[in-house]
Amino acid sequence: MRFSTSALLTLPLLAAAAESPFEQYKAKFQNFLGSFGVAVPSSTEKQEPVAAAKAKVVGAKKIETLTLSSWKDTLYAPVKPDATQPEEWFVLVTGGNKTCFGHCGKVETAFNESVTKFATQSKSPHVGILNCDNEPILCTSWSASTGALWVFEMLPAPAPIDVYWKRLNLTTTTSDDILKVAGKDGKKSLYLIDSYFHPFDGVLAKNGLALPIGYLLWGFNAIPSWAMMLIVSFFSRSMMNRQVNGANRPGNPAAAAAAGAARGAPAGDARS
């Protein structure tokens, strides 16, 4: 397993700080983990070759590839230090056989087509692709699932960044649907992200936890389920043992009495 021990150390902190609000994200977590299935392989952290990770040209517009190490620089790159109008990014969160079960082809095609159309417009968003097959840690740290469009409104740091997302219908999405989001009132179909997992302003990102948590969750997910069962049963057994031992301590009169009664009853005394 590859996550650092600092992840383990920070987890209780997080839990203490956020006992109940955390609950509401639990379901989301589980959903998300489900989308990864057990298919996340152990060698997923391979970085794309730098040359390939850099921009590819579609029409006159580059599709940037977001990676764990460079996503922030990529998104901030077109932002001028004194800008007051946000630079808009459309990022397609997609995946291959591992994280999208091979069903993201249609939205990818639609997205690529929309980029070609954007290239003919005077004002259009910057575009990027995040492939969760290649970047599972980044996807986990954002709690991003595949088949979604993320929209970033980038302002110069340290201004807060508005991030929106929208699930794309994997079977029906066309390039026009994506163009529509960029059009007037398009934002109305988007959800503003306001969670712990906000890539810039979330509690996790602000406290440097997004990455450790990303590794941690991904690590849990990468453990085969039989190993997980082994671990769980080990822990629950050792906890049971501790409880039983605690109950039998002399300081516990009820338990002592019960134990005494049990001991006092002669074997086979079943009122026959």
Ligand X SMILES: *[C@@H]1O[C@H](CO)[C@@H](O)[C@H](O)[C@H]1NC(C)=O
CB of 172 to ligand X, least distance (A): 4
> Would you give the binding string for ligand X spanning residues 167-196, x where CB under 6 A is met?
--x-xx------------------------
Closest CB 147 distance from ligand X, rounded Å: 9
| Residue number, 79 or 129, with CB nearest to ligand X | 129
- Binding status of residue 112 toward ligand X by CB under 6 A: yes
Among the residue ranges 9-17, 106-114, 189-197, 246-254, the one whose residues contact ligand X (CB under 6 A): 106-114
Considering only residues 47, 109, 233, 238, which one is a binding residue for ligand X as defined by CB under 6 A? 109
SS3 annotation, the chain: CCCCHHHHHHHHHHHHHCHHHHHHHHHHHHHHHHHHCCCCCCCCCCCCCHHHHCCEEECCEEEEECCCCCHHHHHHCCCCCCCCCCEEEEEEEECCCCCCCCCCHHHHHHHHHHHHHHCCCCCCCEEEEEECCCCHHHHHHHCCCCCEEEEEEECCCCCCCEEEEEECCCCCCCHHHHHHHHCCCHHHHCEECCCCCCCCCCHHHHCCCHHHHHHHHHHHHHCCHHHHHHHHHHHHHHHHHHHHHHHCCCCCHHHHHHHHHHHHCCCCCCCC
What is the contact mask toward ligand X in residues 133 to 172, using x (rule: CB under 6 A)?
------------------------------------x-xx
Q: Exactly one of 18, 39, 53, 58 binds ligand X (CB under 6 A); which one?
A: 58
